[in-house]
Amino acid sequence: MATENINKALDSNIVHTTHSEHPSAATYFKVAMALCLLTGLEVVVFFFEWLSYGIIPVLAILSVAKFALVIMFYMHLKFDNNLFSTLFLTGLFLAIGVTFALMALFRWFHVA
Amino acid sequence: MTTLPIPMIKRPLHPTGIWNWITTIDHKKIGILYGATAFINFLIGGIEAILIRAQLSGSNADIITPEVYNQLFTMHGTTMIFLAIMPLSAAFFNYIIPLQIGARDVAFPRLNAFSYWAFLAGTIILHSSWLFGEAPNSGWFSYAPLTSIAYNPGHGMDFWIVGLQVLGIASLAASFNFVVTIINMRAPGMSLMKMPLFTWMTFITAILLVLAFPVITVALIELMFDRSFGTNFFFAPAGADPVLWQHLFWVFGHPEVYILILPAMGIVSEILPTFSKKPLFGYSTVILAGAIIAFMGWLVWSHHMFTVGLGPIPNSVFTITTMAIAIPTGIKIFNWIFTMWKGSITFSTPMLYAIGFIVTFTIGGISGVMHAMSSSDAQQQDTYFIVAHFHYVLFGGAIMGIFGGLYYWFPKFAGRMFNEKMGKIQFWLLFIGQNITFFPMHFVGMDGMPRRIYTYSSEMGWTALNALETAGSILVVISVALFLYNIVKSWRSGEKAPDDPWDARTLEWSISSPPPEYNFKEIPEVQTVDDWWAKKRGLLGEQAPSGGSGEKGEIHLPQPSFWPLVTAIGIFIGGYGLIYSYPAAIVGLAIMMIGVYSWSFEPVNDPD
Amino acid sequence: MAEATVSNHEGGHQTTTGLNHRKMLMWVFLGSDCMFFATLIATYLVYKGKSLSGPMPIDVFSIPVTTVSTFVLLMSSMSMVLAYSALRKGSLKGYRTWMISTVILGSTFLGFQTFEFYEFANHHVHIDCINPGELTDYEQGLFDKNCTEGVDHYDAQHGLTPKTNLFGTTFFVLTGLHGTHVTIGVIWLMSLFLYSFKKGGVTPERDLDTDLAALYWHFVDIVWIVIFAVVYLFGVFEGFPT
């Protein structure tokens, strides 16, 4: 009885495939391997002292690549409606902007 | 049919009386709950203001002690912003938005109810600080390190932190709901650029809110950790910079002021066309200006910090961005004026408020541009010149817009007409009263009267103007009392209101006053902006038979629920627990989790 | 049981965009949560290198250990997506396997965090005064102060807690709140796992429940990707102020 109720509750969660094709398990595994590889690269690069401050863009690119892989494939944004991307990326870009603005105010324009 | 996981508690199906209100998920009832609670808060904030004005009416007064005075201006600001203006706007969002977009309710009715109960919890927590003998006392923006445990050892600041966190949860819940509702529940044919202006401004406000509130959530967590656990976020001896608090607060705080004003601007954009019998001049421009203001609002926050010593480059940058934001604001003002130009104008009470808004908000905007220049702000900062500015934009702006909306939509939600003559008198008393109260503040401010002082010497030469300001505030009190009398009397025994007393333009006027529980018998098909007006005037071509989504026969409505209230009670107890007793906080958390689980397993619609 | 209703019908109504309300809500929420973590990360970055005393990142961070915990969390994202995939294919057994794997991996990550916090709080400094070798700046300060005439070694507890210095404060609160997010995720996933044992509880038609939990879980993972780079890797880089 009660189970039926819960089931009916969750029926409203039924969503037909408005989303298109889902990647296969093989693709997911490949993404996972790519993530491991990128993480490994980050750690390796970190020991290259000759890079000096050049390490910042390198780590940034590697992290962004990992971030993008998870978002696009695991979170399916690549295949879903653009509206979801817009909603999320608005928050993300504002977040990055505010972080950089605060860093700028405290580090690069700080009057002692 | 029972709800899980507590099978003994039956889901309310057709509750009556007070249970009806406690378990309601109907957006219209929730709107009324918000409105009533927020208006009571407005009165409490008003009492706090009157006490301030009483103390300042003469030099060297000692009606109020300095310690209590600090609590009064802190609570007055906090109450008016978080407990009055925001929830009054929310009352309109709740009641009006589904009606304007042709929907039967919001996307998440139980989440909507939850946001009200959480708001009520926050209201009680904040006001109760007075009863516990210590209200917060460091201004509505609570700068560090004055708020640290060393300088502020009592519980006052903890009430402020917890109260705002709870209110933040309420506001976020509501805003998430409105973003999804406006995107996803519009009547067929209502594209984004056919939505009413009030819906558009609500949409922009909700987006701003969900992006801005997390910043203050973190700032409050950091402050709480400093006070309760000895962390070093704002603790200078450990190398911290208390100015970080100011940055975090104002990164939230500036978008917050646009959250306060955009809904009122939306209301004005509805009233002016209705009572000018003309469409809004430059519909898309006004919307675009609103969106630009919302975006640029993120670029100006340090204009609240011009005198902190950020340096010439930040000060210059923020001067430029702040001046720039006056442009889209000005565009809106011109569009409102052009709406009235050559219109067939009726000066009923809502229209008086809308026009009054334009006058007083513009005055506030002008003083705002004066502060935008960081060098002139050096003289104005922390004086009554600033107090004048923000009261002109908040009282002369937001409050005027809200009163306009209350009169405009009163027939719709009460089903009665208010007394028009009394309304006009009430408007003039309020308009004149607020100008007498706040205009002199420009002068005493320029003359150097600082903010947040509990008294001043008779030699300063401020006494006469302060006495005048206090007199003005008495007029405001009389006006508000008259408003209450009019509303209550009219609600009880006013003339029954027709569906569309103003011959208005948008969908909420196409249904009865008040609307039936299900809002629309048939979901309308929309073809144009101001679709209702177009339908009435026969401006539309052959229409497809209305009936939108093909609903025949029964209308299914979401059903009431206990769980939003239970979840809010958990948060309420948890809040006090964080202030006084961590075991109690655990109990609160447990109740909240029971509420959330039960809510998740409860069917959206019971088969009955 | 009701027959599966078609498409983006919420209780029988079409949605304007054709998208599901709850999924949209989750994406708006995640956008909002970006601002939450941005404020914490910004606080961390503003105070980076400004601690006046106490252990610095280079004194306490173990990149090898944190790399392992990062792998663990990344793998949990993979197992999460495989759980969802199994559900859509109708394999309840596969679903349960991958869900419990995700829970275990997530809990392992939390275990690593707890271990790390404990290690930091009990950080011990040992300096051989005769042959000190390479010392961090912090250790150098301790050497200068304590390795005086006749003293041949220095041993003391110099734990890092949220109260110790700016680094401790910003690090623990940032990673602690991230850990809180992970904990909520673990509870959510565990609930779904247990619920899958109820007849008709978790079905392919109701994959949205799992989809929403998965989105939240992946988000928590990508926040960690940022924290790992910005806090740990940048933290120990020699060129930066520690």
Strands C124-128 and C13-14: unpaired
Q: Give every CB contact of residue B165 below 8 A, 6+ residues apart in sequence.
A: B217, B220, B575
pLDDT above 50: residue C130:
yes
Residues 12-31 of C with CB under 8 A from A: 17-20, 22-24, 27-28, 30-31
pLDDT at B14 (0 to 100)? 77
Distances (CA, A) of B298 to B208, B251, B322: 9, 7, 10
Residues A91, A63 share a domain? no
Mean pLDDT in residue range B49-70:
96
Chain segment B470-513, per-residue pLDDT in tens: 999 999 999 999 999 999 999 999 999 999 999 999 999 999 99
**8 A C-beta contact, residue B556 and residue B518:** no
pLDDT at C172 (0 to 100)? 98
- Asked if C52's CB is within 8 angstroms of B180's CB, the reply is no
Question: Does a structural domain hold residue A27?
Answer: yes
**From the CA of B331, how many Å to the nearest CA of chain C?**
30
Mean pLDDT in residue range A10-16:
47
Domain(s) of CATH 1.20.210.10: residues in chain B: 26-229+240-537
pLDDT at B605 (0 to 100)? 62
d(CA B486, CA B478) in angstroms, rounded, equals: 12
Chain segment A28-45, per-residue pLDDT in tens: 999 999 999 999 998 898
**From the CA of A10, how many Å to the nearest CA of chain B?**
7
pLDDT at B12 (0 to 100)? 77
pLDDT category at B543 given cuts 50, 70, 90 is low
d(CA B391, CA B384) in angstroms, rounded, equals: 10
Q: What is the share, in percent, of chain B residues with pLDDT greater than 90?
A: 92
- Asked if A102's CB is within 8 angstroms of C229's CB, the reply is no
pLDDT above 50: residue C1:
no
> Which residue among A12, A63, A99 sits closest to C45, beta carbon to beta carbon?
A99
**8 A C-beta contact, residue B183 and residue B193:** no
Residues 20-79 of C with CB under 8 A from A: 20, 22-24, 27-28, 30-35, 37-39, 41-42, 45-46, 63, 67, 70-71, 74-75, 77-78
pLDDT at B550 (0 to 100)? 44
> Which residue among C20, C34, C218 sits closest to A91, beta carbon to beta carbon?
C34
Residues A73, A28 share a domain? yes
All structural domains of chain C, each given as residue ranges with its CATH number in brackets, are 19-123+158-236 (1.20.120.80)
Residues A60, A34 share a domain? yes
Chain segment B326-344, per-residue pLDDT in tens: 999 999 999 999 999 999 9
What's the predicted TM-score (pTM) here?
0.94
Q: How many domains does chain A have?
A: 2
**From the CA of C150, how many Å to the nearest CA of chain A?**
37
pLDDT at A21 (0 to 100)? 66
Choice between A52 and C123, residue whose per-residue pLDDT is larger: C123
Please, what's the b/e burial string for B72-107 (b: 16 or more CB within 10 A of its CB; e: otherwise)?
A: bbbbbbbbbbbbbbbbbbbbbbbbbbbbbbbbbbbb
Residues A72, A45 share a domain? yes
pLDDT at C157 (0 to 100)? 94
- Asked if A94's CB is within 8 angstroms of B314's CB, the reply is no
Chain segment B366-377, per-residue pLDDT in tens: 999 999 999 999
pLDDT at C12 (0 to 100)? 46
**From the CA of A87, how many Å to the nearest CA of chain C?**
6
- Give strand pairing partners of B383: B450
Q: Is the peptide bond before B15 cis (omega within 30 degrees of 0)?
A: no
Q: Please tell me the least confidently modeled range out of A32-41, A51-60, B269-278, C49-58.
A: A51-60
Question: Does a structural domain hold residue A111?
Answer: yes
Choice between A51 and C231, residue whose per-residue pLDDT is larger: C231
pLDDT at B558 (0 to 100)? 85
d(CA B608, CA B606) in angstroms, rounded, equals: 5
Residue C62's CB: how many other CB atoms inside 10 A? 13
CATH of the structural domain B26-229+240-537, one choice from 1.20.210.10, 1.10.10.10, 2.60.260.20, 3.30.565.10:
1.20.210.10
Question: Does a structural domain hold residue A100?
Answer: yes
SS (H, E, C) A77-108: CCCCCHHHHHHHHHHHHHHHHHHHHHHHHHHH
pLDDT above 90: residue B288:
yes
Burial class from Cβ neighbours inside 10 Å (0-12, 13-18, 19+) for residue A56 reads middle
Mean pLDDT in residue range C64-92:
95
Which residues in chain A are closer than 8 Å to B1, comparing Cβ atoms?
Answer: 1, 5
Chain segment B376-391, per-residue pLDDT in tens: 999 999 999 999 999 9
- Asked if B605's CB is within 8 angstroms of A8's CB, the reply is yes
**From the CA of A57, how many Å to the nearest CA of chain B?**
26
Residues A72, A97 share a domain? no
Choice between C204 and C242, residue whose per-residue pLDDT is larger: C204
Q: Does C4 touch chain A (CB under 8 A)?
A: yes
Q: What is the share, in percent, of chain B residues with pLDDT greater than 70?
A: 95
Chain segment C183-210, per-residue pLDDT in tens: 999 999 999 999 999 988 899 999 999 9
Domain range spanning residue A111?
Answer: 81-112
pLDDT above 50: residue C9:
no
d(CA B491, CA C115) in angstroms, rounded, equals: 64
pLDDT at C234 (0 to 100)? 83
Q: Please tell me the least confidently modeled range out of B121-130, B470-479, C47-56.
A: C47-56
- Asked if C15's CB is within 8 angstroms of B239's CB, the reply is no
Q: Which value does ipTM take for this structure?
A: 0.95
Which residues in chain B are closer than 8 Å to A6, comparing Cβ atoms?
Answer: 4, 601, 603
pLDDT above 70: residue B532:
yes
Quick one: DSSP state of residue B527? -
pLDDT at A110 (0 to 100)? 72
Q: Give every CB contact of residue B486 below 8 A, 6+ residues apart in sequence.
A: B418, B419, B422, B423, B426
Residue of C21, C48, C53, C165 best to disrupt the B interface, most CBs of B under 10 A: C21
Q: Does A41 touch chain C (CB under 8 A)?
A: no
Chain segment B403-458, per-residue pLDDT in tens: 999 999 999 999 999 999 999 999 999 999 999 999 999 999 999 999 999 999 99
- Asked if C24's CB is within 8 angstroms of A84's CB, the reply is yes
d(CA C18, CA C23) in angstroms, rounded, equals: 11
Amino acid identity at A88: F
pLDDT above 70: residue B8:
no
Chain segment B557-589, per-residue pLDDT in tens: 888 999 999 999 999 999 999 999 999 999 999
Q: What are the residue ranges of helices labelled H in B16-108?
A: 17-23, 27-56, 66-78, 86-101
Backbone angles phi, psi at C125, to 5 degrees: -105, 130
Distances (CA, A) of B222 to B245, B502, B579, C54, C172: 9, 50, 15, 20, 11
Averaged pLDDT of chain B: 94
- The set of chains that have 3 or more CB pairs under 8 A with A is B, C
User: 3-state DSSP: chain A helix, strand, coil percent, rounded to 5?
Assistant: 75, 0, 25
pLDDT category at A1 given cuts 50, 70, 90 is very low
Spatial CA neighbour of B579 closest among B152, B13, B158, B113: B158
